Amino acid sequence: MRITVETTKVAKRFVYGGLFNALVACIFAIPLAIASDSSVIEPIDQSIVYVLQTWPVMPFPVAAADFPGTWLFLSYTLFLIVGCLGFFFWAAVYYMQSALLGKTHTSRVLSALHFILGFAGVYAAVIFLFTAGFFGGAARLSGIQGAAIINTLISWTVIPTAIGMVLGVLGNLLGVINNIMTFFGKQVSI
């Protein structure tokens, strides 16, 4: 097994990852684009059944509620920045290593870990943040006050969100280390 991989192949993988994430972002924008404008919703059942019953139309006030419905928008914005633009950024970095600097090979293991941890991290963080915003916003609109939302409905999303963030940061840190090693290292294609 080779211990290096062409930097252009890594760049291509990040482009494909960014395109996939952009497609996912478009799919998850559908509920917001066709949202109902009703300002009152019935009390919710805190289960996946509620999501399945309302998908793809969700009450717009769920997302517009001041807390924690805004986490839904925050998660979507973070996904666009980190999941889409971040992957395209890394594709450009890896491509420039080859095209501008003549560094044609990079570590296979570090680039794979960079991609996998970054991908898993952004999805874990954003999915749980989105879930907290969706259920929390719906609960807030059904009359449940803020402290009850935090303590009973969405507190279980905090640790998985943090784990996703740690995975994403670790993946990006490995990407930085990999690119520094590629920049300063001897070019060996083995």
pLDDT of residue 42: 47
Angle at 76 between CA 40 and CA 17, to 5 degrees: 145
Cα 159 from Cα 188, distance rounded (Å): 41
**What is the predicted pLDDT for the residue at 182?**
92
For residue range 123-180, what is the model confidence (pLDDT) as tens digits? 999 999 988 887 777 777 767 776 676 777 888 899 999 999 999 999 999 999 999 9
Q: Is residue 87 part of a domain?
A: yes
User: Residue 128 in contact with residue 155, Cβ under 8 Å?
Assistant: no
| Number of domains observed in the structure of the chain | 1
CA distances from 144 to 67, 129, 137, 141, 152 (A): 11, 19, 10, 7, 10
Domain that holds residue 40: 4-184
Each residue's pLDDT tens digit, 67-119: 777 788 889 889 999 999 999 999 999 999 999 999 999 999 999 999 999 99
pLDDT-derived band at 30, boundaries 50, 70, 90: confident
Decide if 142 is inside a domain. Answer: yes
Residue 7 confidence (pLDDT):
95
Asked if the model's pLDDT at residue 47 lies above 90, the reply is no
The reply to whether 14 falls in a domain is yes
Cα 57 versus chain centre, distance? 22
C-alpha dihedral, 87 to 79 to 131 to 135, nearest 10° = -170
Q: According to the model, what pLDDT value does residue 44 have?
A: 46
Residue 68 is predicted with a pLDDT of: 73
Confidence at residue 125, expressed as pLDDT on a 0 to 100 scale:
96
Within-domain flag for 32: yes
- Residue 177 domain-assigned (yes or no): yes
190 within a domain of the structure (yes/no): no
**Could you identify the residue written with the tokens 């935090």?**
150
In this structure, are residues 187 and 105 in contact, taking their beta carbons and an 8 Å threshold? Answer: yes
Does the pLDDT of residue 65 top 70, yes or no?
Answer: no
Locate tokens 């993988």: which residue?
13
Q: Is 67 inside a domain boundary? A: yes
Report how far apart, in Å, the C-alpha atoms of 145 and of each of 59, 63, 111 are.
19, 16, 46
Please tell me the distance from the alpha carbon of residue 53 to that of residue 26, in angstroms, as a whole number: 21
- Supply the pLDDT for residue 57: 54
Question: Residue 140: which H helix or E strand, with range?
Answer: helix 108-141
**124 found inside a domain:** yes
